Structure 1
Amino acid sequence: MSSNKTKSWKVLLVSLAAAVSFSMLAACSNNNSSNGAGDNSKAVATYKGGTITENEFDMDTRVMKLLSPQQAAYLEIDAFKESILKQEVAFEYLAGKATDAAKKEAEKQADQQVNSIKTGLGDTYESTLKQASLTEGDIRSYMLRVLTVYQDMLLKVKDDQVKTEFEKTKGDFTVATLRHVLIGLKDAAGKERTDADALKLAKEVKAKLDGGADFAATAKEYSDDTGSKDAGGEIKDKALGGYVEEFKQAAQTLPLNTISDPVKTTFGYHIIKVESRTETTFDKLTAEQKETIKGSLASQGLESFLEKDLGSLDVKINLPKSSAPAGKSGTSNGGTEPTTAPSAEAPAVTAAPK
């Protein structure tokens, strides 16, 4: 399960109209490293007040591939590239409208993100950038544009909006201790299971538990969730908002100490028992949790601009066509990591903190 703490450049990881995850959305940033007198490449996008050149777009896609290589195949799909480029227009336009306060904070955040990438890559940092035909300046410029837009959106969020948003989503902040058994669509050896086979086994596990079998021992024997298996399926004192939607709904509504019917998620079938559940009130929220809500509202602000206001910029796209087929993305890992396919930002049951 994911913690609510998310690095700033990822807080905008939202699913947009074109099924774009933020790993891709972040690539919308126009870093302008190739902008200027030396850039004679053609314009691939024009809009009221500006253009984006082929070199600029190429730089953005190379940064995206570095930061999210599992998504790179989507950049070969024409419809997806066009969606990305339209969003890049939005980022360039909105960054130009940002306040000085937003720009100042974005400068600090960009430095932190570059340092985080450098630390993460360690000794391979220089060679990785060289292989991607990027410089540290390219990465920072890219981060700066994304973060400027994010910080500007964030500063527009008012306290009363945070409270209103909490009331709409307060179930996500309920803290629960629960146990579950995951029967995955792959077994422990990595062999594929059909949906029918997984459901059949899940029903057998449910029957054992209904018959009085010990939940912890059953989880250790059957569960494919490596994150909780050794703990007897226990996930202790976690906010429900971090779970995938189907699991979250079951955990919010299942009577305490009741064995659920199989609950299907993208990872397979779960048998769940909620042992405790405590609601959180607004006055009990931590500063970090309030910042998470503000981040969600900032993301919604960007999404609203893309859906309602981008058209007013009279965007015209002139990208060369490709014929590459859609690639596959995502992982199946027994429910311990978030999926990486577009629009699947919600973490799995026991995803590690980002």
Structure 2
Amino acid sequence: MSLNNQKAWKVLLVSLAAAVSFSMLSACSSKSDNAEDNSTAVATYTGGTITEKEFALDQKIMKFLSPEQAQYLEIDAFKESILKQEVAFEYLATKATDEAKKQAEKEADAQVASLKTGLADTYESTLKEQDLTEADIHAYMLRVLTVYQDMLLKVTDDQVTKEFEATKGDFTVSTLRHVLIGLTDANSKERTNPDALKLAKDVKAQLDAGADFATIAKKYSDDTGSKDAGGEYKDKALGTYVEEFKKAAQTLPLNTISEPVETTYGYHIIEVESRTDKTFDQLTDEQKDGIKSSLASKGLETFLEKGMDDLKVVINLPKSSAAANESGTTNTGTEPTKAPSADAPAATEAAK
């Protein structure tokens, strides 16, 4: 994920990163000009409606672009959240500037071309299997990208500079080592939280007694991304780590063994070998764009939190067959978690 952008678009619940170049995108309505739509309105708001047919098309597109999210579309609460976000995107797209629409058109063309290249010879057959057309995909992306580009164009250089000053610790570059004692061991056997903490304290005791950190990491760490490197992550920006890990790495005295640091992954024993602060002028263009993207997402969050009331949104979704039970869960199973990959350490936050 891009630096300082780990929470970007966090309010949007459907991940389409594989299809488009942003972390999180929401469903948006794809109105068809080819056939009359007499289906029931599932959402009404000041100035517009979203019909059952439109929402069904959007769900098919979501499943096509992000099949791992398909199970959630059977959950009523999830569908309602998506539909409310559709309202926001449909409304905001009509308010976007001509420049935003122009940029979005280029981006949508590029993304569809990329999708076509990725699927190669299976592109047409895959669309047919999903009962979709290229125009459907393009219209979907265009509306989302129009809102995104409009939000980006509203971000000023002064705002980017101020945001950096407020979060400059995220851009500090550090070399560190860590041992992760996970809540699941190397044999995929679950550990209780107390057992993980007990083992983490034992690891710390061995390191405090002079044991070699790299050797200990290779023996005990459950982080596949750093274990073979002796627990080392070299020259990485601290903003790429989950919050608890990041704060520890920002404040821990150099060359000091930390107490166990708890994150959603388990317990970490950390040793920071170096930290180098950065000035704004030293940021890469990608990092500056990451700040800008984060600010754009905040603009959308603000609208979703404070601007939706003015639209007087009314949702009229039929109940699904996968209705939630009294505990709030459904028969679709629990939400899956993403295992850390070799280039995304266990300490690195997955896209929310």
Q: Same fold (TM over 0.5)?
A: yes
Partners of 1:189 and 1:166 in 2: how far apart? 42
Letter in 1 for 2:10: S
Partners of 1:150 and 1:197 in 2: how far apart? 45
Does structure 1 residue 23 correspond to structure 2 residue 15?
Answer: yes
CA contact (8 A) 1:336 1:350 kept: no
Partners of 1:116 and 1:285 in 2: how far apart? 28
Q: Which runs of 5+ in 1 are unaligned?
A: 339-346
Q: Secondary structure at the match of 2:25?
A: helix
The aligned runs of 1:21-60 (5 Å cut-off) are: 21-23=13-15, 26-32=25-31, 34=32, 37-60=35-58
CA contact (8 A) 1:267 1:332 kept: no
The aligned runs of 1:138-153 (5 Å cut-off) are: 138-153=136-151
Query: What is the aligned partner in structure 1 of residue 337 from structure 2?
Result: 331
Letter in 1 for 2:336: G
Letter in 1 for 2:129: Q
Query: What is the aligned partner in structure 2 of residue 251 from structure 1?
Result: 249
Cα deviation, residue 335, structure 1: 7.2
The aligned runs of 1:74-113 (5 Å cut-off) are: 74-113=72-111
Q: Higher mean Cα deviation, 190-199 or 140-149?
A: 190-199
Q: Secondary structure at the match of 2:77?
A: helix
Partners of 1:28 and 1:334 in 2: how far apart? 27
Q: Secondary structure at the match of 1:163?
A: helix
Cα deviation, residue 73, structure 1: 2.4
Tell me: CA distance 1:155–1:334, structure 2 relative to 1, closer, same or farther (3 Å): closer
Partners of 1:119 and 1:352 in 2: how far apart? 26
Deviations 1:192-245 (A, max 9, x none): 222122112111111111111111111111111111111111101111111111
CA contact (8 A) 2:14 2:62 kept: no
Q: Higher mean Cα deviation, 327-336 or 290-299?
A: 327-336
1:114 to 112, 115, 123: 112
Query: What is the aligned partner in structure 2 of residue 198 from structure 1?
Result: 196
CA contact (8 A) 2:181 2:222 kept: yes
1:288 to 270, 286, 289: 286
Partners of 2:178 and 2:124 in 1: how far apart? 43
Partners of 1:296 and 1:147 in 2: how far apart? 15
Q: Percent identity?
A: 69
Partners of 2:338 and 2:224 in 1: how far apart? 12
Q: Secondary structure at the match of 2:236?
A: strand
Letter in 2 for 1:23: S
CA contact (8 A) 2:104 2:145 kept: yes
1:68 to 66, 69, 72: 66
CA contact (8 A) 2:104 2:149 kept: yes
Query: What is the aligned partner in structure 2 of residue 270 from structure 1?
Result: 268
Q: Secondary structure at the match of 1:23?
A: coil
TM-score (norm 1): 0.88
Cα deviation, residue 332, structure 1: 5.2
Letter in 1 for 2:255: N
Letter in 2 for 1:213: A
Cα deviation, residue 105, structure 1: 0.8
Partners of 1:77 and 1:337 in 2: how far apart? 32
1:228 to 213, 226, 237: 226
Does structure 1 residue 14 correspond to structure 2 residue 9?
Answer: yes
Partners of 1:337 and 1:319 in 2: how far apart? 41
Cα deviation, residue 282, structure 1: 1.4
Structural RMSD (CA):
2.4
Partners of 1:227 and 1:125 in 2: how far apart? 33
CA contact (8 A) 2:13 2:82 kept: no
**Aligned residues, how many?**
336
CA contact (8 A) 1:206 1:261 kept: yes
Deviations 1:229-287 (A, max 9, x none): 11111101111111111111111111111111111111111111110001111122222
Partners of 1:53 and 1:153 in 2: how far apart? 26
